[in-house]
Amino acid sequence: MSIEKKAFGILADGRKVSAYTLRNEAGAKVKIIDFGGALVQIKVPDREGNNADVICGYDQLDSYINGDGYQGALIGRFGNRIGGSKFTLDGKTYKVSVNDNGVNSLHGGICGFNAKIWNAEMVDGDEPRLILTLTSPDGEEGYPGKLDVKVTYTLTANNSVVIDYYAVCDKPTILNLTNHAYFNLGGYNSGKIFDHKLWLDADSYLPTDEKLIPTGEIRSVTGTPFDFTTEKTIGQDFDLTNTDLGLAGGFDHCFNFKGGETEEPVLRGILTDEKSGRQMKMYTNQPCVQFYSGNFLNNEKYPFKNNYPQGLQNALCLETQKMPDAINHDNFTDCVLRPGQEYKYTTIYEFGVI
């Protein structure tokens, strides 16, 4: 089989958590747990053909439950932050769970999709798939409407990890799904990511306040450290004296793709580690990506796999999504989902070598 299921742990209430490992003929391996739909492992070759695990994560279920950082998890209902933990939709104001700085809502609330056990269906084949489904009831975490969600992970023959997001609702609601994998193409245990090179097809970004809530301005990347339209190392302009970088402790900002949302996934980012030769191309039809440089990876209580310690800027996230706090800014991307509409997006992380 190219997909297999094994026990990963047991929750305090007795529910079992399973891990699903997908393999292709090229030797790549992807491991996912049904708790949070989290990506636990992506093993791909370097230029010499040596496989390494290029995402952070944990060995034990307890760390996924109690550790912070949303390691590898599926995020929902609303990825990123909602300022003041409230929004108005069709004239009605909704209050959602407060779990960030005592004021704001982050990544879906107190018990977001990252903390749910998803229903899992394995589909074997040359390109194995894991189909995860979840129903979020009306009013969960304060969000209106019953939401039915399906996320499909596929490991392709060319070493791509494809994530297809799909959702429908029975009342008007807001939705912003993403995945929170932390990448280090040298291997999760290889140290800082400052030497990684990054290209993003993004001509603007969202400045934030001190609590990382967007101010409402959409600012051009031209002449700023946020300009990755020409490939450069992440460390090149990592200057915390810059106001926006200083507030976040590094990059933790929404980058807006040229032309916005597309019908089909297009190439929007390339991450390269010249030392190992690994490269990751990011395709998506989403309008934005949150580039996060791991500025809070400092929880000593929860080391990563094989007891490797956390460390600031030891990994990065490229979370494709719509704009954070979009519902509270008329000039931001549309995040409203209505009955009869389909939320349907795809992100592809294609791994190769240079």
Residue range 157-211, pLDDT digits in tens = 999 999 999 999 999 999 999 999 999 999 999 999 999 999 999 999 999 999 9
Helix, strand, coil % in the chain, rounded to nearest 5: 10, 40, 50
C-alpha dist (Å) from residue 12 to 67, 181, 214: 16, 25, 37
What value does the mean pLDDT take over residues 332-338? 98
- Predicted local distance difference test score (pLDDT) of residue 282: 99
202 closest CA partner among 268, 285, 286: 268
pLDDT at 1 > cutoff 80: no
Q: Which fold has domain 3-353?
A: Beta-galactosidase; Chain A, domain 5 (2.70.98)
Compute the mean pLDDT over every residue in the chain, rounded to the nearest whole number.
Answer: 98
Determine which one of 180, 231, 300, 350 is catalytic: 180
Q: What are the residue boundaries of the structural domains of the chain, listed by start?
A: 3-353
Q: Catalytic: 263? A: no
Residue range 269-299, pLDDT digits in tens = 999 999 999 999 999 999 999 999 999 999 9
Q: Kindly state the tokens that stand for 200.
A: 């993003």
Question: In whole angstroms, what is the distance from residue 17 CA to residue 35 CA?
Answer: 6
Question: In whole angstroms, what is the distance from residue 212 CA to residue 214 CA?
Answer: 6
Q: Catalytic: 319? A: yes
